[in-house]
Amino acid sequence: MLDSSERVGLLEFLSAHVNGYRVILGHGIEPSLVTPFGLEIKAHSDGLVSIQRTGNVETVTTTHSDNKTFQYRVFPDYQTSLVWYDSRWPQNPRGEYHVDQDVLEERYPTWFERYNAWVSRYEEEFKRGNMAHDDVFPNAQSQSVWDLEGVLLSSWLCLQQDVNAVSYSTVPGVNVLAAGTLNDVATVFLQVTWVGSWP
Q: Are 92 and 71 in contact (CB under 8 A)?
A: yes
Residue 115: pLDDT band (50, 70, 90) is very high
What is the DSSP annotation of the chain? ---HHHHHHHHHHHHHHSTT-EEE--TTS--EEE-TTSEEEEE-TTS-EEEEE-SPPP---SSS-TT--EEEEE---TTS-SEEE-TT-TTSPTT--B--HHHHHHH-HHHHHHHHHHHHHHHHHHHHTTT-STT-SSSHHHHHHHHHHHHHHHHHHHTSTTEEEEEEE-SS-EEEE-TTTHHHHHHHHHHHHHTTT--
Confidence at residue 196, expressed as pLDDT on a 0 to 100 scale: 46
- Say what the pLDDT of residue 46 is: 78
Task: Report CA torsion sign: 9, 33, 46, 153.
Answer: negative
Q: Over range 18-47, report the average pLDDT.
A: 79
Residues 79, 172, single domain; the answer is yes
> Does residue 8 sit in the same domain as residue 96?
no
Q: Are residues 40 and 77 in the same domain?
A: no
Burial class (CB in 10 A: 0-12, 13-18, 19+), 5: exposed
Assess whether 47 and 82 both reside in one domain.
Answer: no
Q: 40 and 94: one domain?
A: no
**How many domains does the structure of the chain reveal?**
2
Give burial (CB, 10 Å; 0-12/13-18/19+) of 165. buried
Query: Does residue 58 belong to any structural domain of this protein?
Result: no
d(C-alpha 18, C-alpha 102), whole Å: 24
Residues 25, 43: contact at Cβ < 8 Å? Answer: no
Q: Give the mean model confidence (pLDDT) for residues 38-42.
A: 86
Residue 57 — pLDDT band, cuts 50, 70, 90? low
**Together in a domain, 108 and 165:** yes
pLDDT at 107: 93
- The answer to whether position 60 is within a domain reads no
pTM: 0.83
In this model, does residue 134 exceed pLDDT 70?
no
- pLDDT above 80: residue 78: yes
Which amino acid appears at position 4 of this protein?
Answer: S
The Cα–Cα gap between 59 and 117 comes to 22
**What is the domain extent for residue 141?**
70-194
